[in-house]
Amino acid sequence: MLYTSTRNQKVGISAAEAITRGISEDGGLFVPVAIPRIDRGFLEALQPMDYIERAVSVLGLFLEGFSEEELRTYAKGAYGGGKFSGVSPAPVVRAGEHLNILELWHGPTCAFKDMALQILPYLLTGSAKKINNHNKIIILVATSGDTGKAALEGFCDVAGTGILVFYPVDGVSPMQKLQMTTQKGENVGVCAIRGNFDDAQSGVKAIFTDPAVKEKLRENGYVFSSANSINWGRLAPQIVYYFSAYVDMVSQGSIAMGEPINIVVPTGNFGNILAAYYARRMGLPVKKLVCASNANNVLTEFIETGHYDRNRKFYTTISPSMDILISSNLERLLYMLSEGDDGEIRRLYASLAETGTFRVSETVARQVREIFAAGCCDDDATKATIARLFREEGYLCDTHTAVAVKVYEDYRRKTGDTTPAVIASTASPYKFSASVLDALTGGSIRAQDEFAMVHELEEKTGIPAPQQLRSLSGKTPRFTDVCDKAQMCEKVYQMLGLK
Ligand SMILES: *Cc1c(COP(=O)(O)O)cnc(C)c1O
Distance CA(139)–CA(135), nearest Å, equals 12
Name the residue among 475, 476, 470 with its Cα closest to residue 453.
Answer: 470
Question: What spacing in Å lies between the alpha carbon of 134 and ligand 1's midpoint?
Answer: 32
Distance CA(404)–CA(433), nearest Å, equals 18
pLDDT value at position 432?
93
Which of 147, 226, 267, 433 has the most ligand 1 atoms within 8 A of CB, as the residue to mutate?
A: 267
Contact at 8 Å (CB) between 175 and 473? no
149 included as an active-site residue: no
Local confidence band at 226 (pLDDT 50, 70, 90 cut-offs) = confident
Question: Is the C-beta atom of 426 inside 6 A of ligand 1?
Answer: yes
In 10 A of CB 76, how many CB atoms? Answer: 16
**What pLDDT, in 10s, does the model give residues 198-214?**
899 889 989 988 999 99
Question: What spacing in Å lies between the alpha carbon of 219 and ligand 1's midpoint?
Answer: 36
Question: Is the C-beta atom of 431 inside 6 A of ligand 1?
Answer: no
**What pLDDT, in 10s, does the model give residues 419-469?**
999 999 999 999 999 999 999 999 888 888 889 999 999 999 999 999 999
Local confidence band at 96 (pLDDT 50, 70, 90 cut-offs) = confident
Question: What is the number of the ligand 1 atom nearest to the C-alpha of 431?
Answer: 13
Local confidence band at 191 (pLDDT 50, 70, 90 cut-offs) = very high
Question: What is the number of the ligand 1 atom nearest to the C-alpha of 229?
Answer: 7
Average pLDDT over residues 207-235: 90
The sign of the torsion formed by the CA atoms of 246, 250, 253, 254 equals positive
Question: Is the C-beta atom of 146 inside 6 A of ligand 1?
Answer: yes
Query: Per the residue annotation, which of 10, 113, 205, 414 is the catalytic one?
Result: 113
**What pLDDT, in 10s, does the model give residues 3-43?**
999 999 999 999 999 999 888 989 899 999 999 999 999 99
pLDDT value at position 57?
98
| Helix 146-155, helix 174-181: angle, nearest 10 | 20
Name the residue among 82, 116, 86 with its Cα closest to residue 103.
Answer: 86
Question: What is the number of the ligand 1 atom nearest to the C-alpha of 426?
Answer: 13
Question: Is the C-beta atom of 267 inside 6 A of ligand 1?
Answer: yes
Question: Is the C-beta atom of 270 inside 6 A of ligand 1?
Answer: yes
Local confidence band at 398 (pLDDT 50, 70, 90 cut-offs) = very high
Question: What spacing in Å lies between the alpha carbon of 426 and ligand 1's midpoint?
Answer: 6
Average pLDDT over residues 155-167: 93
The sign of the torsion formed by the CA atoms of 191, 228, 295, 384 equals negative
pLDDT value at position 498?
87
Question: What is the number of the ligand 1 atom nearest to the C-alpha of 144?
Answer: 1
- The CA radius of gyration of the chain, in Å to the nearest whole number, is 21
pLDDT value at position 299?
98
